[in-house]
Structure 1
């Protein structure tokens, strides 16, 4: 599949003509990364942004004591690191590929020129950033106001909704990474999964999750019940 075809399937390029997509495709750098490879480090110059074509990327911060806190996980079709493009700032976190991945890189100077020539691009970017801000706000609320069982319940319901509100699905990240994402440690996460299983809220087989009691899981996520 050519670059233009990939771009046409990304939300921020919705509504662009074939000629405009050709203009965008000419500035794209098509890059491949191996699992575990850094895309950029916190403090690097924000020289452009990325769109994931295949694979996944985690964006995370590292505390002074070396603890990793995952801020977001991005998948195919999603852009990341757009803010430094507009702020002229440095990357505020680390970005690392979680699988062998293919990314499109958009250099800042070239992309800003495209925005001047195609104002609809700016509107699409604003819509994408607004959605990201809402997701990040929900994450902060979950991490700061909910106890760990509620955070985990919220995440499992999120995965269910993401997969079409089905009751059987797989975790999209390793449990150790999920613990980091939820702001806890693997041992605590394991104990909570065990309690959820004992209460027959879920059934767990490796990465496979089956929701047995959606209402009970929703009550836990909303803080209306405890394990």
Structure 2
């Protein structure tokens, strides 16, 4: 349960309250490309990423995959919908071998009713995610592909980056197709845009992740 104590929604709980969390928490392991849940399925649980990587995405009317987020250790999902039984809003799929802590919605809601402070913290998380979604939508409407890709890189660096020398390393195995899905364009366009960035020595990549060499350029992304 030491892992769960890092989450904001549990930070105010005492030892006795945490013992109740322990009674309803379940560990599950997923292999790469295995679905955690699919869009439209009945919402049954809240998931906490202990290790590995989970991708959440939606499929548009043309059958294209639109990546919503990449979740790794310390992330919780879904971020909204604890108080109703609406279906899962997106599909969640393990990208690599992943271990999740799972808490059923019914059990979780019972705790929220029992401990009002948990309800307030969950609402704060929901508000932050809604603002993040609004920001992404605005970016899609008004910005070109290069700006959207830079914004996506900055978001990944903020959430998953590790300081390395004078740069920052995004320690995620993410493909050009994943980037294309995230920013709403083709893989060919992403290939060209990334190659231009590499020629300018703004970044480089290997099989494990992406190295950002120019943080000032990245931080300048609005």
Change (3 A) 1:64 1:76: same
Q: How does 1:216-227 map to 2 (within 5 A)?
A: 217=218, 221-222=221-222
| SS of residue in 1 equivalent to 2:211 | strand
Change (3 A) 1:8 1:193: same
Mapped to 2, the partners of 1:55 and 1:213 lie a distance apart of 26
Partner of 2:5: 8
Partner of 2:61: 64
1:167 equivalenced with 2:167 (yes/no): yes
Partner of 1:189: 190
Give the TM-score, by structure 2 length: 0.88
Mapped to 1, the partners of 2:8 and 2:64 lie a distance apart of 34
Which string of whole-angstrom CA distances, capped at 9 and with x for unpartnered residues, describes residues 150-169 of structure 1? Answer: 01112223334443676231
Mapped to 1, the partners of 2:9 and 2:153 lie a distance apart of 28
| SS of residue in 2 equivalent to 1:86 | coil
Matched residue pairs, number?
A: 216
Of 70, 74, 97, which aligns to 1:73? 70
Mapped to 1, the partners of 2:27 and 2:215 lie a distance apart of 44
**Would you say the 8 A contact 2:55–2:94 is kept in 1?**
yes
Of 82, 85, 88, which aligns to 1:88? 85
| SS of residue in 2 equivalent to 1:77 | coil
Give the TM-score, by structure 1 length: 0.86
**Would you say the 8 A contact 2:167–2:215 is kept in 1?**
no
1:149 equivalenced with 2:149 (yes/no): no
Change (3 A) 1:211 1:27: same
Query: How far has the Cα of 1:82 moved from its partner?
Result: 4.4
| SS of residue in 1 equivalent to 2:185 | coil
1:210 equivalenced with 2:196 (yes/no): no
Partner of 1:178: 179
Partner of 2:37: 40
Mapped to 1, the partners of 2:85 and 2:148 lie a distance apart of 34
**Would you say the 8 A contact 2:148–2:183 is kept in 1?**
yes
Q: Aligned-residue CA RMSD in angstroms?
A: 2.1
| SS of residue in 1 equivalent to 2:149 | helix
Change (3 A) 1:201 1:214: farther
1:129 equivalenced with 2:126 (yes/no): yes
Partner of 1:225: none
**Would you say the 8 A contact 1:36–1:97 is kept in 2?**
yes
